Amino acid sequence: MFEAKIDALVLRECIESITAVVDEGKLRVAEDGFKLRAVDPANVAMVSFELQRDAFDDFRFEKGSDAEATTESAAATEVGIDFNKLHGILGIGGSAEVNLKLDEQAQKLFTRMGSLAYTVSLLDPASLRKEPKVPELEFPVQVIIETDEFRRTIRAAEKIGDHIMLGVDGEEFYMEVEGDMDKLRLGLRKEQLIHLTPGTLHSLYSLDYVAAMSKGMSHAENITLNLGKDYPLQVDFEVADGKGKVSYLLAPRIESE
Amino acid sequence: MFEAKIDALVLRECIESITAVVDEGKLRVAEDGFKLRAVDPANVAMVSFELQRDAFDDFRFEKGSDAEATTESAAATEVGIDFNKLHGILGIGGSAEVNLKLDEQAQKLFTRMGSLAYTVSLLDPASLRKEPKVPELEFPVQVIIETDEFRRTIRAAEKIGDHIMLGVDGEEFYMEVEGDMDKLRLGLRKEQLIHLTPGTLHSLYSLDYVAAMSKGMSHAENITLNLGKDYPLQVDFEVADGKGKVSYLLAPRIESE
Amino acid sequence: MFEAKIDALVLRECIESITAVVDEGKLRVAEDGFKLRAVDPANVAMVSFELQRDAFDDFRFEKGSDAEATTESAAATEVGIDFNKLHGILGIGGSAEVNLKLDEQAQKLFTRMGSLAYTVSLLDPASLRKEPKVPELEFPVQVIIETDEFRRTIRAAEKIGDHIMLGVDGEEFYMEVEGDMDKLRLGLRKEQLIHLTPGTLHSLYSLDYVAAMSKGMSHAENITLNLGKDYPLQVDFEVADGKGKVSYLLAPRIESE
């Protein structure tokens, strides 16, 4: 049994952070809130999402008594959701609060925004990509940057090239994109950032993926970039006023020299 | 002889209420104002439009003396107008008032907005669809609803399906649309509406038509929905601050069971 | 050696006035500022652009000592620029000031907006169209008009036809466009204009070109139209708060009677 109330804008922000990487996924609903981990169709990007139960105005969850739930995984319910569909409807509701209710028997999610009720069939979890394992990664460098500055640079970069280099050179963080005739570079010194681990390394990423991710983080004030040398990029940020956490993981592109 | 002045925004609102159903039509100009009745090319929707002469800042009409006008119809002039063209120009004029002048001899309508003069040839009435007869209809149920709520629901419905059901169930009015995987339903109780005739009935309509109509009513605060069982829908609303009236009539879709 | 600082909005306004006619061109940088003259690919429209050095917050220029610069032309540097590219990046910088720096050796222009550095390779001047000669023209009539009124009329005209007539009839200036069924005419008497030379003449122009030009002048309050009988149109206006000047020249269309 799951039933909850949540601010419509908070739910929208959460869904946008997911749809930046995947259209659909398996949401785990448990006593302590929501969790999701999903990988994009090309297997290049991953999103990990967590929302605490206190991000909700009301949150009730009980695992069906038929299943003797003792292990952690058994104490959760997996719900296959088309997040894109849900997002489209949330944008129009015109209501401040959303009520969610799960009907496991009928495999449906009921959503109510004021007088508007939206019912969507759950996706068969077997039809969804398997939840990815989070690889064990160690990032030598962390950079905390204002989201607006990051997003503005990505928007400019998209006019120039297809790949973006993120790197650290001493006490400077940089983002760099090269076109046939031109080059754009954002360089921020330690004191212009919220945090920087000094170092000398960089990696190259597909700009399409970074641009999609940058849309998912638009409500966060700051983001943390976890970087290595020719290494995946991990971007962490908060949603729901700090009551939710999102991590994006993106595989690097190999530089052709 | 016809010559008039009218607020540019009022004229725009009127034309938008017409172009929601038809691009062109025969406008009847008479001593008491404007009247129009036109049916869409597919013969599925009809618009009836009336604008009183006191909606104008100035209104002068005289039937040519050559025609001994005694009957009501003879005392009016029929003017074939391409409303879409007129609407496009009105949007740009940048003037608060529009002057209209008819030249029956030359079959032209002169429109002046400040220093900008727009002259359009009248359409040959013979080339236009015949003015439809208004069928005799009796609607067992009336619902008066805020236009914004209706339009918001239509916008959400368009994301889901192609047909919309409008109905009354006891003291509740509802709008419902079904997709392959999902369903959206607006349910409003009597006290959430301006007016409701209780009953139990519903009809299905093509969402494309309802969506087009919902654009034509955007300046009205409330609309009246006249409903029956598997019956046409009639939507009534006011334009020009109550000095004009618009009715849309839409044929129902037969439900395939 | 060239290095300068300039307000980002002023630079954008200048570039927009150029890209209204050409995407790329040879910018002459000299001690007294910028100059450009370029003709569009179809040889129908020309832009002449000048920006004084005092439009810049800082301006340093020195002709390389290797060239013994004695003539005026030798004291300038010609720089082939893709203005469209530069414009796209300027729009996103988010900075109030732009630093420009020329590297003649490497044939690159460095642009810095806050922490964002944009480097673009200069175009080979040999690959660009030759700078056009300004024909000797004498315009019997000048009209000074508010830019907004001119632009609004052009926007309306685009909905109707492909050519626009600009003319003067006694003490009235007019713009006129004809469609198959309709006609739009702006008529302004001398007292509705900032200036008018009375006369009787008109010329016809391609609306596509006039519409493009009208985008380039959007920051100027007034424009001066220089007119003749079946004669080119010259439009003059100021940029950069009067510290820059732009002239568009457009060939007339021959009227087919």
Q: Which tens digit of pLDDT belongs to each residue from B110-144?
A: 999 999 999 999 999 888 988 888 889 999 999 99
User: What proportion of chain C, given as a percentage, has pLDDT over 90?
Assistant: 84
Q: Please give the average per-residue pLDDT across B218-239, as a whole number.
A: 97
Q: How many CB pairs under 8 A join B and C?
A: 47
Which of A92, A101, A103, A108 has the most B C-beta neighbours within 10 Å, making it the best mutation to test the interface with B?
Answer: A92
Q: Please give the average per-residue pLDDT across B204-213, as a whole number.
A: 98
**Which ipTM score applies to this complex?**
0.88
Q: Which chain C residues touch A214 with a CB distance below 8 Å?
A: none
Q: Which of A107-121, B18-32, C53-67, C120-134 has the lowest mean pLDDT?
A: C53-67
Asked if B159 lies within 8 A of A89 by C-beta distance, the reply is yes
> Is the pLDDT at C232 greater than 90, yes or no?
yes
Q: Which chain A residues touch B153 with a CB distance below 8 Å?
A: 116
Asked if A120 lies within 8 A of B182 by C-beta distance, the reply is yes
Residues 47-106 of A with CB under 8 A from B: 82, 85, 88-89, 92-94
User: What distance in Å separates the CA atoms of residue A106 and residue A121, rounded to the nearest whole number?
Assistant: 8
Considering chain C, what is the average pLDDT of its residues? Answer: 93
> Is the pLDDT at A131 greater than 90, yes or no?
no
> Is the pLDDT at C200 greater than 60, yes or no?
yes
Q: Where are the alpha helices (DSSP H) in C91-206?
A: 147-158
Contacts of C236 (CB under 8 A, 6+ apart): C223, C224, C226, C245, C246, C247
Tokens coding B79? 């003017």
Contacts of C237 (CB under 8 A, 6+ apart): C17, C147, C217, C220, C222, C223, C224, C245, C246
Nearest to A152 among C94, C118, C119 (CB): C94
Tokens coding B247? 């009715």
Amino acid at B181: M
The alpha carbon of residue A109 is apart from the nearest alpha carbon of chain C, in Å, by 41
Main-chain phi, psi angles of C75, to 5 degrees: -85, 10
Asked if C156 lies within 8 A of B89 by C-beta distance, the reply is yes
Residues 15-34 of B with CB under 8 A from A: none
Asked if A186 lies within 8 A of C93 by C-beta distance, the reply is no
Other CB atoms within 10 A of residue B137 CB = 11
Q: Which chain A residues touch C89 with a CB distance below 8 Å?
A: 156, 159-160, 184
Given this model, what pLDDT does residue C201 score?
A: 97
Tokens 């104002």 sit at which residue? B33
Spatial contact of C147 and C216, defined as CB atoms under 8 Å apart:
no
Q: Which of C178, C188, C179 is nearest to C225 (CA)?
A: C188
Tokens coding B16? 């938008």
Which of A183, A189, A190, A214 has the most C C-beta neighbours within 10 Å, making it the best mutation to test the interface with C?
Answer: A183
CB-based burial of residue B65 (10 Å sphere; 0-12 exposed, 13-18 middle, 19+ buried)?
A: exposed
Nearest to A187 among C88, C94, C117 (CB): C117
Q: How many CB pairs under 8 A join A and B?
A: 47
Spatial contact of C210 and C156, defined as CB atoms under 8 Å apart:
no
CB-based burial of residue C42 (10 Å sphere; 0-12 exposed, 13-18 middle, 19+ buried)?
A: exposed
* pLDDT-based confidence at residue C214 (cuts at 50, 70, 90): very high
Query: CA B49, B53, B56: angle at the middle one, nearest 5?
Result: 100
Contacts of C110 (CB under 8 A, 6+ apart): C99, C100, C101, C102, C103, C117, C118, C119
Tokens coding A174? 């940089």
User: What distance in Å separates the CA atoms of residue C10 and residue C21, rounded to the nearest whole number?
Assistant: 18
Name the segment(s) of chain B with CATH classification 3.70.10.10: 2-127, 141-250
Given this model, what pLDDT does residue B64 score?
A: 66
**Thinking of the domain C2-127, which architecture would CATH place it in?**
Box (3.70)
User: What distance in Å separates the CA atoms of residue B129 and residue B39, rounded to the nearest whole number?
Assistant: 8
Q: Please give the average per-residue pLDDT across C167-188, as a whole number.
A: 97
The number of residues making up chain B comes to: 257
* B160/C contact by beta carbon, under 8 A: no
> Is the pLDDT at B254 greater than 90, yes or no?
no
The alpha carbon of residue C125 is apart from the nearest alpha carbon of chain A, in Å, by 15
Tokens coding C211? 């519409």
Given this model, what pLDDT does residue B63 score?
A: 80
Asked if B116 lies within 8 A of C184 by C-beta distance, the reply is yes
* pLDDT-based confidence at residue C74 (cuts at 50, 70, 90): low
Hey, CA dihedral for A103, A109, A114, A115, is it positive or negative? negative
> Is the pLDDT at A93 greater than 70, yes or no?
no
Given this model, what pLDDT does residue A219 score?
A: 96
Chain centroid to CA B24:
12
Contacts of A91 (CB under 8 A, 6+ apart): A12
pLDDT digits (tens, 9 = 90+) for B77-97: 999 999 999 998 887 767 789
Nearest to C159 among B88, B115, B121 (CB): B88
Q: Please give the average per-residue pLDDT across B244-254, as a whole number.
A: 96
Which of A169, A181, A188, A190 has the most C C-beta neighbours within 10 Å, making it the best mutation to test the interface with C?
Answer: A181
Nearest to C120 among A149, A153, A181 (CB): A181
Spatial contact of C79 and C128, defined as CB atoms under 8 Å apart:
no
pLDDT digits (tens, 9 = 90+) for A12-47: 999 999 999 999 999 999 999 999 999 999 999 999
Other CB atoms within 10 A of residue B73 CB = 9
Q: Which chain A residues touch C119 with a CB distance below 8 Å?
A: 182-185
Given this model, what pLDDT does residue C69 score?
A: 46
CA distances from C231 to B131, C42, C140, C163 (A): 50, 18, 10, 15
* A107/B contact by beta carbon, under 8 A: no
B89 or B213, higher pLDDT: B213
Partner chains of A (3+ C-beta pairs under 8 Å): B, C
Indicate the CATH number for domain B141-250.
3.70.10.10
Asked if C115 lies within 8 A of A184 by C-beta distance, the reply is no
The number of residues making up chain A comes to: 257
Tokens coding C50? 């000048």
Name the segment(s) of chain A with CATH classification 3.70.10.10: 2-125, 141-250
For chain B, how far is it from start to end, CA to CA, in angstroms?
A: 56
Amino acid at A175: M
Indicate the CATH number for domain A2-125.
3.70.10.10
Q: Where are the alpha helices (DSSP H) in B159-239?
A: 207-216
- Among all residues of chain A, which has the CA nearest to that of B188? A115
Tokens 């040959």 sit at which residue? B124
Spatial contact of B248 and B45, defined as CB atoms under 8 Å apart:
yes
Q: Which of C254, C134, C247 is nearest to C204 (CA)?
A: C254
Asked if A185 lies within 8 A of C119 by C-beta distance, the reply is yes
Q: Which chain C residues touch A184 with a CB distance below 8 Å?
A: 89, 116-119
Q: Please give the average per-residue pLDDT across B141-150, as a whole number.
A: 97
> Is the pLDDT at C48 greater than 90, yes or no?
yes
Given this model, what pLDDT does residue B256 score?
A: 62
Nearest to B120 among C149, C181, C188 (CB): C181
User: What distance in Å separates the CA atoms of residue A172 and residue C72, rounded to the nearest whole number?
Assistant: 44
Tokens coding B67? 């025609």
* pLDDT-based confidence at residue B68 (cuts at 50, 70, 90): very low
Given this model, what pLDDT does residue A256 score?
A: 62
> Is the pLDDT at B67 greater than 70, yes or no?
no
User: What distance in Å separates the CA atoms of residue C135 and residue C137, rounded to the nearest whole number?
Assistant: 6
Asked if C115 lies within 8 A of A186 by C-beta distance, the reply is yes
The alpha carbon of residue B166 is apart from the nearest alpha carbon of chain A, in Å, by 14
Contacts of A174 (CB under 8 A, 6+ apart): A165, A166, A167, A168, A185, A186, A187, A188, A202
CA distances from A184 to A75, A223, C95, C118, C120 (A): 50, 21, 15, 4, 9
User: What distance in Å separates the CA atoms of residue A70 and residue B184, rounded to the nearest whole number?
Assistant: 37
Spatial contact of A2 and A84, defined as CB atoms under 8 Å apart:
no
Our separate counts of H helices and E strands in chain B read: 4, 18
Spatial contact of C22 and C47, defined as CB atoms under 8 Å apart:
yes
The number of residues making up chain C comes to: 257
Q: Which of B134, B128, B117 is nearest to B27 (CA)?
A: B128
Spatial contact of C3 and C60, defined as CB atoms under 8 Å apart:
yes
Q: Where are the alpha helices (DSSP H) in chain C?
A: 8-19, 83-90, 147-158, 207-216
* pLDDT-based confidence at residue A90 (cuts at 50, 70, 90): confident
CA Rg value for chain A: 20
Tokens coding A245? 């956490």
Tokens 């023209």 sit at which residue? C137
H or E stretch covering A212: helix A207-216
Asked if B93 lies within 8 A of C156 by C-beta distance, the reply is yes
Using CA atoms of C160, C162, C167, C171 in order, give the dihedral in degrees to the nearest 10: 10
Other CB atoms within 10 A of residue C97 CB = 17
Spatial contact of A163 and A249, defined as CB atoms under 8 Å apart:
no
Spatial contact of A220 and A237, defined as CB atoms under 8 Å apart:
yes
> Is the pLDDT at B70 greater than 60, yes or no?
no
Other CB atoms within 10 A of residue C210 CB = 25
> Is the pLDDT at A257 greater than 70, yes or no?
no
pLDDT digits (tens, 9 = 90+) for B13-58: 999 999 999 999 999 999 999 999 999 999 999 999 999 999 999 9
User: What distance in Å separates the CA atoms of residue A172 and residue A27, rounded to the nearest whole number?
Assistant: 38
Q: Which of A222-231, B165-174, C128-137 has the lowest mean pLDDT?
A: C128-137
> Is the pLDDT at C173 greater than 50, yes or no?
yes
Q: Which chain C residues touch B119 with a CB distance below 8 Å?
A: 182-185
Q: Which chain C residues touch B120 with a CB distance below 8 Å?
A: 181-183
> Is the pLDDT at A143 greater than 90, yes or no?
yes
Given this model, what pLDDT does residue A63 score?
A: 80
Residues 139-158 of C with CB under 8 A from A: none
Asked if B85 lies within 8 A of C181 by C-beta distance, the reply is yes
Q: Which of C57, C5, C1, C6 is nearest to C30 (CA)?
A: C1
Nearest to B182 among A85, A92, A94 (CB): A85
Main-chain phi, psi angles of B59, to 5 degrees: -150, 115
